[in-house]
Amino acid sequence: MNLLKRKLRAYKNINMIVYQNVSKIYNGCKALDRVNVTIKAKEFVSIAGPSGAGKSTFLKLLIGEEKPTMGKIFLDKQNIHFLKDADMPRLRRKIGMVFQDFRLLPDRTAYENVAFAMQVVGASDKEIAQDVPQLLELVGLVDKLNQFPPQLSGGERQRVAIARALIHRPPVILADEPTGNLDLLNTWDIIRILQKINQLGTTIILATHDREVINNLGKRVITFDKGRIIRDEENGRYIL
């Protein structure tokens, strides 16, 4: 665990995420409209708003899944949409993704799901054997590492997904509605884990429409409505 904490804390050189006058248009409709945002390293930021407000588009642009119709997006001072296709995997290793639907391999154990993600990028057997148990310990699942996703609760599956998102020790974690399929108890377990990861030095961007979660975090809240930022407040609340 100490080794893992040192590695996570070592990522403190991602200075900012910057959106400069960013718009995204689909079939004549503006999913994002002239968005200007700066997110500092180590922040915990909630992206709020109703369905269709632009939250998911905001995240997709950051990981290069979509390109802006107008404007620029910088990660660590690099305009990510000037990157060649061959450089995109390197960008995405700086950003861990956590999804609402977990996206685990059902025929692999918790350990194997995390290990597989390391194998894909060429990690050695020694690295996998050292790091996977530490990652699962961080999310409170070291005792469930040999269980398959169908044997785990929804909250436990999301914890495996978070462990997998941490395999590159990314300086940024994007969590897109990570508690949308969970009950209240498991929701707060996931939020506490994200807070712990943030305390280790990782920037967290949480996209959610869960008003109770946002209002109890006491962190920065950026609220979208119809593709525009209508509120950006430190220690904010979700008010629409």
Residue 238 lies in a domain: no
The pLDDT > 70 percentage for the chain reads: 93
pLDDT over threshold 80, residue 199? yes
Q: What pLDDT shows up at residue 193?
A: 95
State residue 89 phi and psi, 5-degree precision: -60, -35
Domain that holds residue 19: 2-233
Q: What pLDDT shows up at residue 58?
A: 95
pLDDT over threshold 60, residue 32? yes
Q: What pLDDT shows up at residue 55?
A: 92
Residue 89 lies in a domain: yes
Residue 43 lies in a domain: yes
Q: What pLDDT shows up at residue 15?
A: 54
Domain count for the chain, please give it.
1
Characterize 122-155 residue by residue with b for buried, 16 or more Cβ atoms within 10 angstroms of its Cβ, and e for exposed. ebeeeebeebbbbbbebbbbbebbeebbeebebb
Q: What pLDDT shows up at residue 35?
A: 97
At 187, is the pLDDT very low, low, confident or very high (cuts 50, 70, 90)? very high
At 240, is the pLDDT very low, low, confident or very high (cuts 50, 70, 90)? low
Residue 239 lies in a domain: no
DSSP 68-90: -SEEEEEETTEEGGGS-GGGHHH
Q: Given its phi and psi angles, is residue 169 left (phi above 0), alpha (psi -120 to 50 degrees) or beta?
A: left
Q: Is the pTM of this model over 0.75?
A: yes
**H or E element, residue 186:** helix 184-199
Beta-strand ranges (E) seen in 78-132 are 78-79, 95-99
**In the predicted model, what is the mean pLDDT of the chain?**
89
* pLDDT tens-digit series, residues 45-85: 999 998 889 998 999 999 888 899 999 999 988 898 888 87
Report strand pairing: 44-48 vs 203-207.
Answer: parallel
Report the CATH number that the domain containing residue 219 is assigned in CATH.
3.40.50.300
SS3 20: strand
Residue 150 lies in a domain: yes
